[in-house]
């Protein structure tokens, strides 16, 4: 009986950990993704100031969640995303908006992959 109780408790902890991981990743994808998309729109419309502010916001949203993200996904992926977002700030500072748009799109694709790869789906399982 005590063994069943231990297993039950462990099962609950697993569910809690997996749910927490899912929410952390989704939350990061949403907040950073929204900021990136907004910065892309601003860059496409030529608004440099807004692009700079939104790129900085994307980076700060990511930095806030970086520690929690590292608990649930591979550190290399977190590092790559962080580097990509840092690069965006540099590109805005250099006022190279076409390159900024290309790199921002890459960052969005990386975010999509991270979010997609952690979803429970048949393709991910196999």
Partner 1 sequence: MIVTLLRTVILYVVVIIGLRIMGKRQIADMQPNELVTTILISDLATIPIQDIKQPALNGIIAIIILVCVEVALSFVTLKSDRLRRIIDGKPVIVVRHGEIDQAAMRSLRLTVDDLLGNLRENQVFELAQVEYAIVETNGKMSVLLTQAAQPITASQAQIKTENKGLSAPVVCDGKLRDEFMEAVGITPKRVEKLLKKKGAKMGDVFLMTVDAAGKAVLVKKEEQQ
Indicate which single residue of 6, 45, 105, 124 sits in contact with partner 1 (rule: CB under 8 A): 6
26/17 Cα distance (integer angstroms): 14
CB 28 within 8 A of CB 69: yes
Residue 74 binds partner 1, judged by CB under 8 A = yes
47/36 Cα distance (integer angstroms): 14
Indicate which single residue of 21, 26, 38, 44 sits in contact with partner 1 (rule: CB under 8 A): 21
Residue 70 binds partner 1, judged by CB under 8 A = yes
Stretch that binds partner 1, among 41-49, 56-64, 73-81, 94-102 (CB under 8 A): 73-81
Can you give the length of the chain in residues?
126
Q: Which residue, 26 or 34, has its beta carbon nearer to partner 1?
A: 26
């Amino acid at each position: 009986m005590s063994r069943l109780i231990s297993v039950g408790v462990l099962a609950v902890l697993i569910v809690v950990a997996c749910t927490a991981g899912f929410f952390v990743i989704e939350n990061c994808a949403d907040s950073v993704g929204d900021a990136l998309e907004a910065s892309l729109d601003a860059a496409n419309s030529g608004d440099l100031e807004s692009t700079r502010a939104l790129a900085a916001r994307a980076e700060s949203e990511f930095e806030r969640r970086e520690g929690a993200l590292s608990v649930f996904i591979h550190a290399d992926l977190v590092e790559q995303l962080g580097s990509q977002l840092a690069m965006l700030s540099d590109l805005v500072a250099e006022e190279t908006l076409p390159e900024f748009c290309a790199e921002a799109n890459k960052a969005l694709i990386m975010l999509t992959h991270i979010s997609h790869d952690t979803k429970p789906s048949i393709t991910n399982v196999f």
